[in-house]
């Protein structure tokens, strides 16, 4: 019997994640995902993160006859399986690997670009997400992406099993909870790294999640940030937070937005001009710092 889908939904994510976190604390950790007709990339990335960073003896049970099993083969790249709309999970521990991931995603989106700057908008988004995991998380980044052509949306997930948002943000700011740390990290020019938290240059530290949250607002998309016992959800311009009973080691950042809206409201505006007029309100010094 099919149980439905594990979807990109904050309430379902909170419930399922807490269930899985309880399981991995047990003596015989078995996560049963049999019966689901679809499993969103977010959940696959979380499972890999738990297996890599928490319990390598986790057993994951999947129904080989379910539609979800075929999809998991694509998202994990099993047996050479590939699909034009899926960028399989990558364990990214070196910055050069980011370019490969970006190139695959750009090929999957099939967007037309007016100039190199628009093309580099995706490179900026992914670079910031992965740098975030590598440089503040202290672990490899686990990254995957999918284009849902029937919905005209792209989903990008990057996770790590490092020290988490509270530890890093508390280095420079007075925060005492994971929820406060995540919310602080979404503010402009907030960094939790000893040198830089979100990018490859100390000049634009703290801009990554701030810029990405503005992309979500502009495109009316969704973004989840999970770390410790907090799940913070940005849906369009509405910010919601949940406190979980269990704690996740590390962090997960997942974003999903419409490609047409991204092109019309951001790329066609000109990525640099959009940043200048819509995000940084014509602050030239800030704009120069992130390029």
Is pLDDT above 90 for 62?
A: no
Is pLDDT above 70 for 5?
A: yes
Question: What is the C-alpha separation between 7 and 10, in angstroms, rounded?
Answer: 9
User: Helix (H, G, I), strand (E, B), or coil: what is residue 205?
Assistant: coil
Task: Please indicate, yes or no, if residue 74 is contained in any of the structural domains.
Answer: no
Average pLDDT taken over every residue of the chain = 82
Picking from 50, 47, 52, the residue whose alpha carbon sits closest to that of residue 36 is 47
CATH code of the domain in which 114 resides: 3.30.565.10
Picking from 6, 32, 55, the residue whose alpha carbon sits closest to that of residue 248 is 55
List CB contacts of 219: < 8 A, sequence separation 6 or more.
257, 258, 261, 262, 265, 266
Is pLDDT above 80 for 82?
A: no
Task: Please indicate, yes or no, if residue 19 is contained in any of the structural domains.
Answer: no
Task: Please indicate, yes or no, if residue 116 is contained in any of the structural domains.
Answer: yes
Task: Please indicate, yes or no, if residue 4 is contained in any of the structural domains.
Answer: no
Residue indicated by tokens 């738990």: 50
**Cα separation values, 271 from 43, 103, 123, 215, 265, Å:** 31, 18, 12, 10, 9
- What's the average model confidence in pLDDT over 251-277? 89
Task: Please indicate, yes or no, if residue 39 is contained in any of the structural domains.
Answer: no
Question: How would residue 218 be classed by pLDDT, with cut points 50, 70 and 90?
Answer: very high
Question: What is the C-alpha separation between 224 and 67, in angstroms, rounded?
Answer: 25
Per-residue model confidence (pLDDT) at position 81: 64
Per-residue model confidence (pLDDT) at position 201: 36
Per-residue model confidence (pLDDT) at position 236: 93
E strand or H helix that includes residue 252:
strand 238-258
Task: Please indicate, yes or no, if residue 103 is contained in any of the structural domains.
Answer: yes
The mean-pLDDT minimum among 30-44, 113-127, 216-230 falls in 113-127
Which structural domain range is residue 222 located in?
Answer: 83-290
Torsion of the alpha carbons at 138, 10, 39 and 236, rounded to the nearest 10:
-90
Question: What is the C-alpha separation between 163 and 51, in angstroms, rounded?
Answer: 16
Give the Cβ contact number of residue 4 at 10 Å.
10
Task: Provide, for the chain, the percentages of residues in helix, strand and coil under a 3-state DSSP scheme, each rounded to the nearest 5.
Answer: 45, 25, 30
Task: Please indicate, yes or no, if residue 227 is contained in any of the structural domains.
Answer: yes
First to last CA, the chain: 52
Give the Cβ contact number of residue 269 at 10 Å.
17
Per-residue model confidence (pLDDT) at position 29: 94
Per-residue model confidence (pLDDT) at position 270: 82
Question: How would residue 246 be classed by pLDDT, with cut points 50, 70 and 90?
Answer: very high
Question: What is the C-alpha separation between 214 and 220, in angstroms, rounded?
Answer: 10
Question: What is the C-alpha separation between 229 and 98, in angstroms, rounded?
Answer: 29
Per-residue model confidence (pLDDT) at position 43: 94
- More confident position, 64 or 241: 241
List CB contacts of 7: < 8 A, sequence separation 6 or more.
38, 40
E strand or H helix that includes residue 283:
none
Count of domains observed in the chain: 1
Tokens of 257: 């937005």
List CB contacts of 290: < 8 A, sequence separation 6 or more.
199, 203, 204, 207, 211, 275
Task: Please indicate, yes or no, if residue 27 is contained in any of the structural domains.
Answer: no
Per-residue model confidence (pLDDT) at position 116: 66
């Amino acid at each position: 019997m099919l149980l439905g889908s594990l979807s990109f939904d904050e309430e379902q994510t909170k419930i399922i994640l807490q269930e899985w976190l309880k399981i991995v604390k047990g003596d015989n950790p078995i996560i049963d995902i049999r019966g689901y007709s679809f499993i969103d990339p977010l959940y696959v990335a979380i499972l890999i993160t738990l297996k890599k960073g928490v319990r390598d003896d986790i057993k994951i049970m999947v129904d080989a006859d379910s539609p979800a099993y075929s999809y998991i083969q694509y998202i994990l790249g099993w047996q050479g399986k590939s699909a034009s709309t899926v960028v399989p999970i990558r364990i990214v521990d070196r910055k050069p690997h980011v370019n490969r991931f970006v190139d695959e995603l750009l090929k999957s989106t099939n967007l037309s670009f007016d100039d190199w700057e628009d093309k580099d908008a995706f490179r900026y988004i992914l670079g910031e997400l992965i740098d975030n995991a590598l440089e503040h998380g202290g672990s490899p980044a686990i990254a995957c992406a999918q284009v849902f052509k029937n919905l005209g949306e792209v989903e990008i997930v990057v996770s790590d099993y490092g020290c988490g948002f509270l530890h890093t943000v508390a280095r420079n700011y007075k925060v005492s909870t994971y929820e406060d740390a995540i919310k602080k990290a979404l503010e402009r020019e907030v960094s939790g790294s000893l040198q830089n938290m979100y990018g490859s240059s100390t000049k634009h530290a703290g801009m990554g999640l701030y810029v990405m949250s503005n992309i979500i607002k502009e495109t009316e998309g969704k973004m989840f940030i999970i770390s410790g016992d907090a799940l913070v959800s940005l849906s369009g311009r509405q910010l919601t937070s949940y406190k979980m009973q269990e704690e996740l080691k590390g962090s997960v950042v997942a974003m999903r937005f419409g490609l047409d809206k991204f092109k019309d409201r951001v790329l066609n505006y000109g990525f640099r001009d959009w940043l200048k007029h819509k995000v940084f309100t014509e602050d030239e010094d800030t704009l120069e710092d992130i390029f």
